[in-house]
Amino acid sequence: MKIWTISDNHFFHKNIIKYCNRPFNSVEEMNEFMIRKWNEKISKKDIVIHLGDFALVNIDKIKELRKKLNGIIFLIQGSHDRRIKEYCGFIIIRGTLQIGNLLFSHRPIPLEEIPKGFVNIHGHIHEKEVLDKKKQMNVSVEKTEYEPIEICEIEKKFDIDLRQVRRISKLKARVSLIKRKDLDEND
């Protein structure tokens, strides 16, 4: 089992192609590309910490899309995720998630609010640069070639020991598999 992170897919959001100068001719092309890149890397048992702005579409299409994506998805709700509920196949997190000395959030945490020795992994700003590369990492899809980033890559970049993250993830994976089983049975 591996742990991944990604942000700001904006599945089904036609205008994001223009707003962020994404290299796609249509929303269908964009969706297919990101689904393929996601599933090439992520197995069914992997954990994904999605940092928000997953999709802009109705609940039925979100559920349909979720079934196409591998992994157990923890979704930190972003600006456009109000419609997404746990019954759509996600474990919903409101606010910030702390694992070890990593702070996962949708929006960048102000630099003065990031404790010493911590790193803020975030999205929201799409193609823009972070203010401090020693304290922040933007994992919006425009910065990750439209594919998830494995947490061990963050570990290397920031020289962090994430053994604690791996222990926590095993426990959370067991809990979320139970929740996911319940969700699948209710479909």
What is the model's pLDDT at position 184? 45
Domains of the chain plus CATH, in order, are 3-186 (3.60.21.10)
- Residue 87 is predicted with a pLDDT of 82
Q: How far apart are CA 165 and CA 163, in angstroms?
A: 5
Q: Where are the alpha helices (DSSP H) in 8-132?
A: 14-19, 27-41, 59-68
Write down the residue that tokens 């401090």 correspond to: 132
Spatial strand order of the sheet with 47-50 comes to: 91-93, 72-76, 47-50, 3-6, 149-150
* Residue 137 near residue 130 (C-beta atoms within 8 A): yes
Token pair 């299409």 is found at: 61
Mean pLDDT by 10-residue block, N- to C-terminus, for the chain (187 residues)? 96 96 97 98 97 95 97 94 86 91 95 94 90 91 96 83 54 43 42
161: its two tokens: 């020991």
- pLDDT value at residue 81: 86
